[in-house]
C-alpha cells in the first residue's frame, strides 16, 4: 500500500504584478509545474499547494518565465500523523 505524499503550502511574494493579466500569467505558469495541486493568485502574491515533491526553485523559474520575480518565500510542510 502506497501512502499519499504529504502536502506542502508555499506563500510567494511576487514583484511587478499590477494587472489582471499578471494574475492570469502567474496562475498559468504555476499550473504547468508538475506536482502543483492548487494555486491562488492575487496582486503581489500567490499561495501554492503542491504534492511535496515540487521545489521552490521550480516555482520561481515558472514565475520568472512569465516575466515576474519572486521576492519572498514562506514554506509550510504538512506532515502526516504517525499512527
* CATH (domain of 40): 3.30.70.100
**Can you spell out the DSSP letters for 20-73?**
HHHHHHHHHHHHTSTTEEEEEEETTEEEEEE-S---HHHHHHHHHHTT-EEEEE
pLDDT tens for each residue of 24-78: 999 999 999 999 999 999 999 999 999 888 999 999 999 999 999 999 999 987 6
pLDDT at 1 over 60: no
What pTM was computed for the model?
0.84
Higher pLDDT, 79 or 31: 31
Residue 15: its pLDDT value, please? Answer: 96
Q: How many domains does the chain have?
A: 1
For residue 64, being part of any structural domain is answered with yes
Please report the pLDDT score of residue 62 as a whole number. 97
- Which range of residues forms the domain containing residue 24? 8-77
Amino acid at each position: 500500500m502506497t501512502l499519499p505524499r504529504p502536502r506542502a503550502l508555499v506563500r510567494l511574494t511576487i514583484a511587478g504584478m499590477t494587472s489582471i493579466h499578471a494574475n492570469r500569467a502567474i496562475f498559468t505558469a504555476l499550473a504547468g509545474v508538475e506536482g502543483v495541486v492548487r494555486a491562488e493568485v492575487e496582486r503581489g502574491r500567490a499561495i501554492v499547494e503542491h504534492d511535496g515533491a515540487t521545489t521552490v526553485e521550480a516555482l520561481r523559474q515558472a514565475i520568472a518565465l512569465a516575466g515576474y520575480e519572486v521576492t519572498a518565500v514562506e514554506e509550510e510542510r504538512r506532515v502526516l500523523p504517525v499512527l
